[in-house]
A and B are shown apart, each in its own frame.
Chain A
Amino acid sequence: MFLQTLVTGLSIGAIYSLMAVGYSLIFSVLSFSNFAHGAVIMLGAYIGLALASKLGLGFALVMSGAGAGVIAMINERVAYAALRRRGAPSLYLMISAMGCSMFLENMVYATIGARFYAFPEFFGSRTVRLWGSSLSLLDLCAFVISVTAVFALHLFITRTRTGIAIRAGVNDMTMCSLMGVNTDRLISVVFFIAGAFAGVAGVFLGVRYLVYPTMGWVTNKAYIAAVIGGLGSLPGAMMGGLILGVLETLVSTYISSVMRDVFSFTALTALLICLPDGLMGAETEDKV
């Protein structure tokens, strides 16, 4: 029973990580909270839903990742690029992101409708027996794919030229562009990666629960996970997501499923009091 809860928690946590890593990546490059992340997740889930019944889950995952990545890229070009070039304060970027999120979510609501959709059954209730407890195949699959994706991102960021450019951009965007990096393209790449992760997370959330216009609210959890890990830190976001997922599942299994969200928020507040920088955050104070 405990092992089962742990694996469920890890799988939910891995999905949170996927969202939190994308969100944290954007935060570290442009230092603003991209509140449109939830809308991208939702759109990814809808793309997956449209494709999954005919083409299978694997293809749907790839396509919704790519589709959500492109949506995030377009979003950046339309809503943030002008502000970014003008050097507007990050408050303006946040407001613009909020506007995008409102627009996308409610357009889906107005056009596709508020109906809840379910993915076709891919895993059914198939389980894997392990040390006397039965683990759901969906949980294992979501966990493995999410962790692999985050690991691949880590390799990309540390081992490739573009990855090095991203890390340089995190440090100092102006200097980075003086070194001959095309920052517009760099930021597009960052948004594509974040969007792709969001899309994959959206499909997993859709398979696990349902697909509906306001499903993007789960990003609340991603934000909390990112803050737990320390805003802007990718390993931190990964850890934060896993910890939050496991804790939440434990709370809803052993205490009360209703109080789960209250618990995550209380945990966040408690953490901010004890560890204001998160688990792996560097300095969070604004520098002069």
Chain B
Amino acid sequence: MYYHYALNIFLLACVNMIAVLGVSIFTGFTGLFSLGHAAFVGIGAYTAGVLTYHWYVPFPLAILAAMLASGAASLIIGVPTLRAKLRSDYFAIAIMGFGEALRVCLENLSITNGARGLSLDELSGPAWVVGALLASLAFARSLLKSRFGAMFVSVREDPVAAEMIGINLFRTRLLSLVVSAVLCGVSGALLAHRLAFIQPVMFTMTQSTQLLASVIAGGMGSVSGPVIVSLIFTALPEMLRNLEMYRLPAYGLLLVMIMIFRPQGLMGYREISDILRGARGFLSEKRR
């Protein structure tokens, strides 16, 4: 019994991690602020959910469709707002409006069953969730190690200098957005078939800020930091059930404190592997 409970929490955390990974690529590596990535999770969840609920589409195909839908939505919102060298504030505001508009649409469409939500089958078992998480991690790692990863970081550090050395700001930012939206879409599809129930209110700004909080607390420019923190953020509230009311104020306070005292977050531009390697290097240095 207890084992099942713990397993469920762990799987939910894994699903969250995929979305956090997406936000980490966008906010942590490319340095753009998003208050609406829950909308991409929502699009993924509803695309997959509607497909399996109404048309009995096989689960793998539904995940694929969710990825496509989230990616397409990110293009619709990203192309006008990231175009040229507009300040990224426009993007933050536009995506916030987008999230709100999406919720209104979801609540009023008949195909999504409105605000009452959709009851689905529990299709994403442990193998699916863990497999998707590992695949996403491997993908994110290879993307960030590639030329594109270097481009993301240079755009974050100094957009002007990045442009000077011939990086197309718009394309780089858009690529980062699409990748992050696709990852959020996968997470949504898995979430919908993990909880077996979705509702429009599950994908509001509160969720977006939780994703963002994990990325900031874990450290911008790090993959392992946010992933670890999102595990803590999912597990901790379960242990402190009776303090549920104070969870969100605590997140808020945490964000402010981190920005003031430790803006690099838990891992800050480093990975677990760097730290391990660093420790080994330090030890061998001493020996010599």
Contact A258 B104 (CB under 8 A): yes
B254 near A: Cβ within 8 Å? yes
Contact A102 B249 (CB under 8 A): yes
Best-surrounded residue of A33, A98, A101, A220 (most CB of chain B within 10 A): A98
Nearest CB to that of A104 among chain B residues?
A: B252
* Cβ contact of B259, chosen from A27, A92, A106, cutoff 8 A: A92
Best-surrounded residue of B87, B89, B212 (most CB of chain A within 10 A): B89
* Cβ contact of B249, chosen from A107, A231, A273, cutoff 8 A: A107
A172 near B: Cβ within 8 Å? no
Please tell me which stretch of B17-25, B78-86, B129-137, B228-236 contacts chain A, meaning at least 4 of its Cβ atoms lie within 8 angstroms of it.
B78-86
Contact B87 A95 (CB under 8 A): no
Chain A-chain B contacts (Cβ-Cβ < 8 Å), number: 140
Annotate A129-165 by CB proximity to B: 1 below 8 A, 0 otherwise: 0000000000000000000000000000000000000
A121 proximity list for chain B (CB < 8 A): none
State A285–B253 Cα separation when bound (angstroms).
Answer: 32
Nearest CB to that of B247 among chain A residues?
A: A106
Contact B87 A99 (CB under 8 A): no
Nearest CB to that of B85 among chain A residues?
A: A285
Which residues between 255 and 288 of chain A lie within 8 Å of chain B, taking CB atoms? 258-259, 261-262, 264-266, 268-269, 272-273, 276, 284-286, 288
Nearest CB to that of A273 among chain B residues?
A: B80
Best-surrounded residue of A79, A82, A265, A286 (most CB of chain B within 10 A): A265
Contact A95 B89 (CB under 8 A): no
Annotate A207-237 by CB proximity to B: 1 below 8 A, 0 otherwise: 0000000000100100110010001000000
Contact A220 B96 (CB under 8 A): yes
The answer to whether residues A286 and B87 also contact, given A82-B260, A98-B255, A100-B252 and a CB cut-off of 8 A, is: yes
The answer to whether residues A33 and B80 also contact, given A79-B260, A265-B100, A286-B87 and a CB cut-off of 8 A, is: no
Nearest CB to that of B160 among chain A residues?
A: A288
B25 → chain A closest CB, angstroms: 15
Contact B85 A79 (CB under 8 A): no
* Cβ contact of A96, chosen from B81, B92, B251, B260, cutoff 8 A: B260
B101 near A: Cβ within 8 Å? yes
* Cβ contact of A258, chosen from B87, B94, B98, B108, cutoff 8 A: B108
A176 near B: Cβ within 8 Å? no
Annotate B219-263 by CB proximity to A: 1 below 8 A, 0 otherwise: 000000000000000000000000001101101111110011001
State A102–B216 Cα separation when bound (angstroms).
Answer: 14
The answer to whether residues A261 and B255 also contact, given A98-B35, A284-B86 and a CB cut-off of 8 A, is: no
A197 proximity list for chain B (CB < 8 A): none
Contact B246 A265 (CB under 8 A): no
Nearest CB to that of A78 among chain B residues?
A: B256
B93 proximity list for chain A (CB < 8 A): 33, 220, 223-224, 227, 268
The answer to whether residues A268 and B97 also contact, given A95-B255, A231-B87 and a CB cut-off of 8 A, is: yes
A83 proximity list for chain B (CB < 8 A): 259-260
Contact B209 A98 (CB under 8 A): yes
Contact B100 A286 (CB under 8 A): no
Nearest CB to that of A277 among chain B residues?
A: B86
Contact B259 A88 (CB under 8 A): yes
B134 → chain A closest CB, angstroms: 29
State A284–B89 Cα separation when bound (angstroms).
Answer: 10
Contact B256 A79 (CB under 8 A): yes
B210 → chain A closest CB, angstroms: 9
Contact B94 A272 (CB under 8 A): yes
A1 near B: Cβ within 8 Å? no
B286 → chain A closest CB, angstroms: 35
* Cβ contact of B35, chosen from A35, A231, A266, cutoff 8 A: A35
A122 near B: Cβ within 8 Å? no
State A217–B100 Cα separation when bound (angstroms).
Answer: 9
Contact B33 A110 (CB under 8 A): no
* Cβ contact of A91, chosen from B33, B160, B252, cutoff 8 A: B33
B108 proximity list for chain A (CB < 8 A): 258
Contact A99 B253 (CB under 8 A): yes
Nearest CB to that of B244 among chain A residues?
A: A110
A88 proximity list for chain B (CB < 8 A): 259, 263
A280 → chain B closest CB, angstroms: 15
A273 proximity list for chain B (CB < 8 A): 80
Which residues between 52 and 102 of chain A lie within 8 Å of chain B, taking CB atoms? 78-79, 82-83, 88-89, 91-96, 98-102
State A91–B34 Cα separation when bound (angstroms).
Answer: 10
A103 near B: Cβ within 8 Å? yes
B residues engaging A (CB < 8 A)? 31, 33, 35, 77, 80-81, 83-90, 92-94, 96-98, 100-101, 104-105, 108, 159-160, 205, 209, 212-213, 216, 245-246, 248-249, 251-256, 259-260, 263
Top 7 A-B residue pairs of the complex, sorted by shortest distance between their CB atoms: A99-B255, A103-B252, A102-B252, A106-B248, A265-B97, A265-B101, A99-B256
Return 10 A-B CB contacts under 8 Å, by A number.
A33-B89, A95-B216, A99-B254, A103-B256, A109-B245, A220-B96, A262-B104, A262-B105, A272-B80, A285-B85
Known: A94-B92, A95-B255, A259-B104. 17 other contacts (CB 8 A): A79-B259, A88-B263, A92-B259, A94-B89, A95-B212, A102-B213, A106-B245, A106-B246, A106-B248, A110-B246, A261-B104, A265-B97, A272-B81, A284-B86, A285-B85, A286-B87, A286-B160
